[in-house]
């Protein structure tokens, strides 16, 4: 292995860079860097810092650097432009080669900064993912972006052969009626597999024709997020669509539901739906519609319409109480592996027993976080419920902590008892909430086989920070 690596390193620098440029993942680059000091020098930082950008601030020096160094920027695969308050993941941008050249942002340099962004994007021939979530323009002075700048940046994404995932969110880059050029380039994006459009700005009716063109230019689309108000898109058929999220952004009349029922029934390949109808669906869902559906995030109205005929869903995230869920006409619990439910107002213990009896193969169970949504159950009741769920490996929510009244010592004993009842249990939520990540820290259960004089399985656990999104 080392001999082969030694021979590889004899290649000219430009050829080595071309070889390393084909490696997408950071962890694979790090693995290569660990082979030798020479490999480390090749990979760090020229490749490890030039695969993913996640930027929350203006950073004019970074964009100037990327605009100037086409040899480095060309290897970037993902660009994420995020709101300043979004700390769900760590910031990622080149730093090693910029030491000593950082400078503060000056509003009068905004035109130059945007031109550097465009030039840098122009170098990124291998870009696969572009996400851009802006802040609300109404709350920021001066505004974060002018429409022409938005148009220029989006235009740089056209003709990127490897670009498959585009997400545009927020209202800050605003393609308003007087500035149609801000989205003109969007319909030129072809062959995407993932498109997400969120924010009130996308509900404007004058954008519908452009967005229709965009969807028709992406026949291989697998994941789609669109505003519920854009009913003009509801007659589109996407033969490979698997995941769809239909989100109300501002408000709509109850009659809007029929458009999206029609959309869902046309697209039979869908496996994952997130949609909350405005009201009861009197016409229901055709029994032969959505034959591949596996996962839903929805309210009681849509679930009742779905289960008017037998369904074998795997994951259900709903506002419906557990006992009401399992009593639906066409409900089949043997296929259900993940359940997240909202408030349980009456007899939560018996409601959960009904769920456990109907769905013995549940692997992930998530309870409400708000104390007002569910009466605290004694620990022994939870242990009884867990004993009926032999496949359970993840339990989310604060219900266990409520059962021991937040006592750390009592929770330690509770964890050990849970492990005895659930031999596959791997993870619980901790009581500490990570506001940056927007989730609770995790209690990770570790089982280790004894060796030597120690026999049997030893169980311990660690508290880990909530994972980055």
- What integer pLDDT is reported at residue 84 of this predicted model? 83
Phi and psi (nearest 5°) for 186? -60, -40
pLDDT recorded at residue 356:
97
Determine the average pLDDT of the residues in 84-88.
82
Which of 55-59, 343-347, 393-397 holds the top average pLDDT?
393-397
pLDDT value at position 445?
97
Average pLDDT for 60-73: 95
Measure the CA–CA gap between 287 and 312, rounded to whole angstroms. Answer: 12
Tell me how far apart the alpha carbons of residues 145 and 128 are, in angstroms, rounded to a whole number.
24
More confident residue, 233 or 207: 233
**pLDDT grade for 106, boundaries at 50, 70 and 90:** confident
Window from 177-181, 338-342, 355-359, 461-465 with minimum mean pLDDT: 177-181
Position 127 scores a pLDDT of: 97
Q: So what's the pLDDT on residue 103?
A: 79
User: Average of pLDDT values for 155-182?
Assistant: 76
* Residue 385 CB neighbour total at 10 angstroms: 21
C-alpha triplet 187, 190, 192: angle, nearest 5°: 110
- Structure confidence by residue, pLDDT tens digits, 352-398: 999 999 999 999 999 987 777 788 899 999 999 999 999 999 999 99
Out of 82-86, 157-161, 280-284, 424-428, which region has the weakest mean confidence (pLDDT)? 280-284
As a whole number, mean pLDDT of residues 270-294 equals: 91
198 is written with which tokens? Answer: 């969120």
Residues 198-218: what's their mean pLDDT?
87
Q: Please state which of the ranges 293-297, 319-323, 410-414 shows the lowest mean pLDDT.
A: 319-323
What is the pLDDT confidence band of residue 83, given thresholds at 50, 70 and 90? confident
pLDDT band at 454 (very low <50, low <70, confident <90, very high): low
Q: Where are the domains of the chain?
A: 1-48
Q: What is the pLDDT of residue 388?
A: 97
pLDDT at 185: 75
| 177, 204 Cβ separation under 8 angstroms | yes
Q: If you average pLDDT over residues 418-424, what whole number do you get?
A: 95
Q: Residue 138 — very low, low, confident or very high, per pLDDT cuts 50/70/90?
A: very low
| Confidence category of residue 149, pLDDT binned at 50, 70, 90 | confident
Residues 360 and 389: beta-carbon distance below 8 Å: yes
Largest CA distance in the chain: 78
First CA to last CA across the chain, in angstroms? 36
Please give the Cα distance from 305 to 279 (Å, whole number). 11
Residues 274 and 244 sit within 8 Å (Cβ to Cβ): yes
pLDDT of residue 11: 82
b/e code 144-157 from CB counts within 10 Å (16+ = b): bbbbebbbbbbbbb
CB-CB neighbours of 327 under 10 Å:
13
Q: Is 191 a residue whose pLDDT tops 70?
A: yes
> What does the CA dihedral 185, 189, 195, 200 come to, rounded to 10 degrees?
10
* Per-residue pLDDT, 135: 63
Q: Tell which wins on pLDDT, 111 or 222.
A: 222
Give the span between the Cα atoms of 426 and 407, in whole angstroms.
Answer: 21
Residue 140 is predicted with a pLDDT of: 43
Contact 130, 98 (CB under 8 A): no
Question: Across all residues in the chain, what is the average pLDDT?
Answer: 88
Q: CA 168 → CA 15, 59, 82, 131, 383, distances in Å?
A: 36, 20, 10, 6, 45
363, 195, 90, 123: CA torsion to nearest 10: 140
- Cβ burial 215-232 (10 Å sphere, 16+ → b, else e): beebeebbbbbbbbbbbe
Per-residue three-class SS string for the chain: CHHHHHHHCCCCHHHHHHHHHCCCCHHHHHHHHCCCHHHHHHHCCCCCCCCEEEECCCCHHHHHHHHHCHHHHCCCCEEEECCCCCCCCCCECCCHHHCCCCCCCCHHHHHHHHHHHHHHHHHCCCCCEEEEECCCHHHCCCCCCCHHHHHHHHHCCCCCCCCCEEEEECCCCCCCCCCCHHHHHHHHCCCCCEEEECCHHHHCHHHHHHHHHHHHCCCCCCEEEEECCCHHHCCCCCCCCCEEEEECCCCCCHHHHHHHHHHHHHCCCCCEEEECCCCCCCCCCCCCCCCCCCEEEECHHHHHHHCCCCECCCEEEECCCHHHHHCCCCECHHHCCEEEECCECCCHHHHHHHHHHHCCCCCEEECCCCHHHECCCCHHHHHHHHHCCCCCCEEECCHHHHHCCCCHHHHHHHHHHHHHHCCCCCEEEEEEEECCCCEEEEEEEEEEECCCCCCCEEEEEEEECCCCC
Which pLDDT does position 146 carry in this prediction? 66
- Indicate the range of 388-392, 409-413, 455-459 predicted with least confidence: 455-459
* Residue 70 binned pLDDT confidence (cut-offs 50, 70, 90): very high
Cβ 319 vs Cβ 288: under 8 Å: no
- The pLDDT confidence band at residue 457, using thresholds 50, 70 and 90, is confident
Please report the pLDDT score of residue 179 as a whole number. Answer: 52
The β-bridge relationship of strands 78-81 and 52-55 is parallel
pLDDT tens per residue across span 289-309: 999 999 999 999 999 999 998
Q: What pLDDT score was predicted for residue 139?
A: 44
Q: How far apart are CA 70 and CA 73, in angstroms?
A: 5
């Amino acid at each position: 292995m080392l001999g082969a690596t030694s021979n590889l390193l004899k290649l000219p620098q430009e050829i080595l860079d071309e070889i390393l440029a084909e490696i997408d993942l950071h962890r694979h680059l790090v693995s290569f860097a660990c082979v030798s000091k020479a490999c480390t020098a090749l990979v760090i930082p020229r490749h490890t810092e030039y695969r993913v950008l996640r930027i929350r601030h203006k950073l004019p020096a970074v964009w100037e650097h990327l605009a100037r160094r086409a040899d480095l920027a060309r290897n970037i695969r993902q660009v994420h432009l995020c709101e300043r308050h979004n700390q769900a993941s760590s910031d990622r941008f080149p730093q090693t080669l910029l030491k000593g050249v950082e400078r503060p942002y000056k509003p009068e340099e905004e035109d130059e900064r945007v031109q550097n962004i465009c030039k840098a994007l122009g170098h990124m021939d291998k870009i696969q993912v572009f996400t851009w979530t802006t802040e609300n323009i109404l709350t920021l002075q001066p505004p974060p972006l002018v429409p022409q700048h938005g148009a220029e940046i989006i235009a740089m994404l056209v003709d990127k052969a490897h670009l498959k995932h585009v997400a545009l969110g927020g209202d800050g880059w605003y393609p308003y009626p007087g500035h149609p050029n801000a989205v003109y380039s969007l319909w030129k994006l072809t062959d995407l597999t993932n498109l997400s459009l969120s924010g009130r700005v996308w509900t404007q009716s004058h954008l519908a024709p452009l967005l229709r063109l965009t969807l028709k230019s992406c026949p291989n689309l697998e994941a789609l997020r669109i505003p519920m108000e854009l009913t003009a898109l509801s007659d589109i058929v996407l033969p490979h669509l698997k995941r769809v999220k239909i989100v109300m952004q501002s408000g709509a009349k109850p009659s809007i539901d029929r458009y999206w029922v029609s959309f869902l029934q046309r697209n039979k390949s869908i496996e994952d739906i997130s949609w909350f109808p405005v009201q009861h669906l009197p016409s229901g869902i055709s029994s032969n519609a959505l034959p591949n559906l596996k996962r839903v995030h929805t309210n009681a109205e849509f679930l009742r319409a779905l289960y008017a005929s037998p369904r074998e869903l795997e994951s259900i995230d709903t506002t419906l109480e557990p006992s009401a869920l399992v009593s639906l006409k066409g409900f089949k619990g043997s296929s259900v592996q993940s359940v997240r439910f909202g408030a349980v107002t009456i007899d939560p213990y018996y409601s959960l027993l009904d769920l456990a009896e109907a769905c013995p193969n549940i692997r992930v169970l998530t309870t409400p976080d708000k104390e007002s949504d569910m009466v605290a159950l004694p620990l022994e009741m939870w242990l009884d419920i867990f004993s009926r769920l032999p496949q359970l490996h993840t339990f989310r929510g604060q219900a266990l902590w409520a059962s021991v009244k937040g006592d750390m010592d009592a929770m330690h004993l509770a964890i050990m008892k849970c492990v005895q009842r659930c031999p596959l249990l791997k993870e619980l939520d901790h009581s500490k909430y990570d506001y940056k990540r927007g989730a609770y820290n995790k209690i990770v259960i570790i089982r280790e086989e004894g060796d030597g004089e120690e026999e049997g399985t030893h169980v311990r656990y660690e508290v880990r920070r909530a994972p980055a999104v």
